[in-house]
Amino acid sequence: MRRLSKSIVASAAVLMGSALLLSGPDARAQSPSERGRVLLNDNCGRCHAVGKTGKSPHEAAPAFRTLGHSFDLDEFAGRLERGLMPGHPDMPAFKFERDDARAVVAYLRDIQE
C-alpha cells in the first residue's frame, strides 16, 4: 500500500472541513442557543421578531426579546414540550422535543431586553 504524503492528507482534511462548513448548520455541532435561534427563525420568524432587534413581520406578534416580561423562562421549556396552543387564529400550535425546547429557552435568555 502506498503511503500518502503529509501535504495530501492535510489538503484532504482542509477540504473535508470546508465541506462541513458549507453544508449548513445541521451538519456541524451547534450550541444550544444557536440551535434555538435556528428553530425559532424557521418556525416563528415569519411572524415574530426573533432577534435582539427588529420589528415583528406580523404587527400583533410580540418580539421574542420581550417574552421574559410575559413568561417565566424557567417554566417556558416545559410549556414548549407540552405544546403551545395558538393565542390567535394566525398562530399554529407548536410542540417541541425536550432538547429543542431547552435550546429555544437558551436562545431566548440570550436575547432578552
Residue 84 DSSP SS3: strand
Task: Report the candidate in 62, 107, 106 with the shortest Cα–Cα distance to residue 88.
Answer: 62
Please give the pLDDT value at position 31.
Answer: 96
CB proximity list for 60: less than 8 A, separation 6 or greater? 88, 90
Please give the pLDDT value at position 68.
Answer: 94
Query: The domain 31-111 belongs to what CATH superfamily?
Result: Cytochrome c-like domain (1.10.760.10)
Per-residue pLDDT of the chain (113 residues; tens, 9 = 90+): 445 444 443 333 333 333 334 344 554 578 999 999 999 999 999 999 999 999 999 999 999 999 999 989 989 999 999 998 887 788 888 899 999 999 999 999 999 99
Q: What are phi and psi of 94, to 5 degrees?
A: -130, 145
Amino acid at 8: I
Q: What are phi and psi of 73, to 5 degrees?
A: -65, -25
Please give the pLDDT value at position 51.
Answer: 97
Q: Is the distance from CB of 96 to CB of 81 less than 8 angstroms?
A: yes
Please give the pLDDT value at position 58.
Answer: 94
Please give the pLDDT value at position 85.
Answer: 83
Angle at 52 (CA atoms; ends 28, 107), nearest 5 degrees: 45
